[in-house]
A and B are shown apart, each in its own frame.
Chain A
Amino acid sequence: MDSATHMLRTGQRGTLFQLQMAARDLRNSFGRIGLAWSLAWHDVASRYRGSILGPFWITLSMGLMTLGIGFLYANLFNIELHIFLPYVALGIVFFAVMTGTINEGCDTFVQAAGMLSQTSLPMFTFLWRTVFRNLINLGHHLVIVIGMLVFYGYWRTANVPLALLGVILMVLNASWLSMLVGIASARFRDIPQIVISVMQFALFMSPVFWRPSKFGDYKAFLDFNPFYHLLEAVRAPLLGTPVEAQSYIVLVAMAVGGWIVTFLIFARTRRRIVHYL
């Protein structure tokens, strides 16, 4: 119904129709995926314009944080450095991508207000923009990941295909969360503050800086932390340790369930989002 040369907007309602329109939005966003990519590149380029290191500044600060925390905690917890340092490094890098995708999701639609109010661009385009922007950042931080894996010899045992599967699951889950907080933030301006606090809390509650083996009897506490599973699915294969089957079940269930809920909410609110802004 919608194409480059045909546009139809109706006041028709009903669940089925709204679902159809939401699906069309998603389809159109894939048709113009290049636009989301261009916007994401532009975001990264313009954020770091005039700086020498560009996005590598965050990489650098992450690297320093990794070294600091790595050396300190390795001594505090009495863990060998060659085990702990790569563990923390990968934890920080991948958790930052998740946090970035979700936190920046709050701005997805608010930031796009100008474009949404005078074009027929799909809403999903702006979600992909946020997701791509964070993947571009991840691309820069891979320097740390590869450096650690090579320096400490993990590259010999790293299961890269399995880690890629983990990254895909991570992106699938982070993107529905990003979309959900994006819609909610457009409507309620309190949401971004809440999201930032929750993600900060999640960082300390998840095994980024500490190892789950320290948990002993309280392992059940970890099982209910979705971020633990998200992180493990990427980190464990790279460090050559097995991922529990349970983690994959949780991640797939979360991705499917989360996307269904998000898509239903999007279908309901799609025509209103532009008015929230």
Chain B
Amino acid sequence: MKPPPVSITCTDLTLRFPVYGVDAKSLKKALARVTVGGRLGRHSGVTDVTALQGVNLKLEAGDRLGLIGHNGSGKTTLLRALSGAYEPDEGTIEVNGRIAALLDLGLGIDSSATGYENIRLRGRIAGLTSKEIDERMDEIAAFTGLGPFLAMPVKTYSQGMQGRLAFAAATAVEADVLLMDEWIAVGDAEFQKLAHKRLLKLVERAGILVLATHEAPLLKLYCNKVMKLDGGIASEIMDIRRIDELLAA
């Protein structure tokens, strides 16, 4: 059976985060609430924060969507929702294709483990089998440029070296849908150039890119569509050439 073409569809996606304050987490309060019938204290319910409100989104292969918006406007939440971590409160999210979320490069990095072990672990989390990781190991190791350091614990690495390792491991995946929170730039000038090329290749191979960033020049470079989020409410998807209208709005 041929898999359906790569796509992302969100319909009327609404996401609310219940805020469990320090208070609400206390077992005593919760128990007291049960025993006295839910009338204790002023906040008997849990406060909700609406992070996304009625977002509609339809992307197909070849779409490179840039997400813009102020801090806290819901960009990262939308990316996380697209990665499958959150269940919507209303509406649906449907993604066809293998998803790679490069949201947090540090994900699964264990600083007491060696570089090789971290590459392995990261690969396993991303869904690669041991065999696939073995096949890619040489290429990933070569790309990090860390040579013999890969056999040393990551805590002995400099910040830049850690960045190289995490980047190489995280980008060793095959993905149809690439989710990125800010264009990743790690390492020294030389490595940044290499990393840039690798990311571009990954983006080319992936059918869809969703990139959240504040930098308009980056968007103009990599994206062909743009959407603005404001307080969890999404604008319509526009052609990248109209980005200035959105920024001005």
Q: Which residues of A contact B (CB under 8 A)?
A: 2, 4-11, 32, 34-35, 38-39, 42, 45-46, 49, 114-121, 187-191, 194, 270-272, 274-276
Contacts and interface: CB of A to CB of B under 8 A. Distances in A.
22 contacts: A4-B98, A4-B127, A6-B3, A7-B84, A7-B99, A8-B92, A9-B81, A9-B87, A9-B92, A10-B87, A11-B89, A11-B90, A32-B127, A39-B121, A42-B113, A49-B112, A49-B113, A114-B108, A115-B108, A187-B20, A274-B85, A276-B20
Contacts of A38: 120-121, 124, 130
A275 B94 CA distance: 21
B86 interface: yes
B83 interface: yes
A163 B167 CA distance: 48
B45 interface: no
A121 B117 CA distance: 20
B107 interface: yes
Interface in B70-124: 80-81, 83-99, 101, 103-104, 106-108, 110, 112-113, 117, 120-121, 124
A272 B18 CA distance: 8
Contacts of B4: 6
Interface of B: 3-4, 14, 17-18, 20, 25-28, 30, 80-81, 83-99, 101, 103-104, 106-108, 110, 112-113, 117, 120-121, 124-125, 127, 129-130, 153, 176
Contacts of A189: 25
Nearest to A8: B94
A275 B20 contact: yes
A120 B83 contact: yes
B18 A118 contact: no
Contact of B86 (A9, A42, A46, A187): A9
Contacts of B125: 35, 115, 119, 121
A243 B107 CA distance: 47
A11 B81 CA distance: 12
Closest 3 CB pairs of A and B: A120-B84, A271-B87, A11-B90
